[in-house]
Structure 1
Amino acid sequence: MKRDLMNCAAITMVVMLGSLGVSACTSTSPTAPASIDALQLTSSSSVPLSGGGALQIVKDLPAPQNSQNGSEQPLSPNDVLEVDVFQVDNLNRTVQVDASGEISLPLIGTVTAAGKTVRQLEKEIETAYSANYLQSPDVTIFVKESIGQRITVDGEVNKAGIYPVSSNASLIDAVALAGGFNAIGDAGKVFVYRNIGQNTLVANYNVESIRAGKSRNPRIYGGDKVVVFPSKSKIALNNLKDALGVASTAVRIGVLAP
């Protein structure tokens, strides 16, 4: 009688765990951002944000503002720049863009750098020096450290975190930096968030389609956030495997009588 009761209890536990695997199809992974639901994103075109602006759903993300045809990342506060004036060594400086977006240089004083591309800033400094001090100055700027060239990769990846990226980084590169998808990551639910003015734009990309050459591999810019959402079918399958594992263990220890 006691063994029968134990068998019934074990069978009930297995059935409950199996049901849990099915019900997990309606849940999300705890590592995915709780404030944003992937299904809501695909069914809504605009969601107001508490700090002003809106979260807007787009098919494809535009390049950040102030970039030249999307080819060059604008400078940001805290970026460290090496400014070299050709054949005028005493004007060379390593400077950091301050919190107000400015740098200070010999003779010409304060110059606004944040929001401009390197090429734009070079031209502005050349104009300032040529106005009163130098004839046909040649200014070269090298970005030694770029705060703006960092991205966040979160959700169902193996190594979520903040990563530096090159000026021509792509979405595939971003996924690789984070160690690829974890066991429940959905390659078809990769969302990229980008701040454009007061608004945040988000687009859904299918990495499997990109890898197969069926879709374009989008450019990733500093400041972007890449979030991988979970696959509901993979969650269900993992829970089912867990349930079968419990049942197998129960048989081995003799809870379920042969």
Structure 2
Amino acid sequence: MIQKTILRFIIPVWIVFALSACTSMAVPEANSLTSADATVGEQSGGVRVVAELPAPPSSASGEQPLAPNDILEVDVFQVDELDRTVQVSANGAISLPLIGKVQAAGKSASELEQLIAASYSRSYLQNPQVSVFVKESSAQKVTVDGEVRKPGVFDGTLQSSLTGLIAQAGGLTDIADSDRVYVFRDIGRERVVANYSLKDIRKGERRDPRLYGGDVVVVFASGGRVAMRNLKEALGVATSGVTGIARGVPLVQ
């Protein structure tokens, strides 16, 4: 009887404490990304909100530009002796049979294909078909932070998608809000951000965006799930405290 009476008194107090703690936590969370919670087209805190992220304009095709230390596979169709796996040097060049050094850094893979094909066609081959595949990209670093199980900086590929990078980060935590996933990108001197819903992407209602080197992904917490977690923790503490009182164990040692 005494234990039940104490529970009736202590548990409501702990519930109020848990909910008030959650409220105090929600304020900085919302304020920390004012621009992302704003409407499309609005600019706040130096960040412009967009509906879809544009590709970096660093190459004419919109592809990720090649960089020093990238490892490339160059394939010349039906001329196996010209196939090579090469690394872009510190000065941005690669070396290929017959044509020697070719400037690669700053160009997209498609642009490099055209340049190599033109070099071979001038003196050696007729209408060569050249393919360039980026095996490893030194510039393709994407940061995934917030409510993921393994936040950090990840090596992506030119085919990296938002859902793929979140999977590399171990997936979402139990309190993550899959509708509040934000991707930041630098476009020239401007930083832009777009909000993506993983639910919509999985249902096929929205495109799974391609990510580029330098992108930052932030997954925010669900206020309701944070409140529920705090409530469960508070109830657990309250119940254990009452059990201790019933057994004659003081709450403060």
Q: TM-score range by the shorter chain?
A: 0.7 to 0.9
**What residue number does 2:225 align with?**
234
Output the CA distance in 2 between the equivalents of 1:29 and 1:98. 49
The reply to whether residue 74 of structure 1 matches residue 65 of structure 2 is yes
**What residue number does 1:140 align with?**
131
Residue identity opposite 1:60 in structure 2: E
Partner SS state of residue 144, structure 2? strand
**What residue number does 1:27 align with?**
25
**What residue number does 1:39 align with?**
34
Unaligned 5+ segments in structure 1 are: 49-54
Cα deviation for residue 141 of structure 1 reads 2.5
Output the CA distance in 2 between the equivalents of 1:211 and 1:138. 37
Candidates 126, 142, 151, aligned match of 1:151: 142
Cα deviation for residue 150 of structure 1 reads 4.4
Output the CA distance in 1 between the equivalents of 2:97 and 2:44. 47
Output the CA distance in 1 between the equivalents of 2:27 and 2:162. 22
The reply to whether residue 172 of structure 1 matches residue 172 of structure 2 is no
Matched pairs, number: 237
The range that moved more, 133-142 or 175-184, is 133-142
Does the Cα contact within 8 Å between 1:28 and 1:230 map onto a contact in 2? no
**What residue number does 1:56 align with?**
48
Residue identity opposite 1:187 in structure 2: S
Counting aligned pairs with the same residue, the percent is 43
Output the CA distance in 1 between the equivalents of 2:51 and 2:167. 23
Change (3 A) 1:146 1:206: same
**What residue number does 1:52 align with?**
none
RMSD over equivalenced CA pairs, Å: 3.5
CA shift digits 1:165-203 (9 cap, x unpaired)? 454443233333322211221112100112222222211
Partner SS state of residue 251, structure 1? helix
**What residue number does 1:113 align with?**
104
**What residue number does 2:186 align with?**
195
Partner SS state of residue 249, structure 1? helix
User: TM-score with structure 2 length normalisation?
Assistant: 0.76
- Higher RCO structure, 1 or 2 (CA under 8 Å, sep 6+): 1
User: TM-score with structure 1 length normalisation?
Assistant: 0.74
Partner SS state of residue 172, structure 1? helix
**What residue number does 1:15 align with?**
13
Change (3 A) 1:79 1:253: same
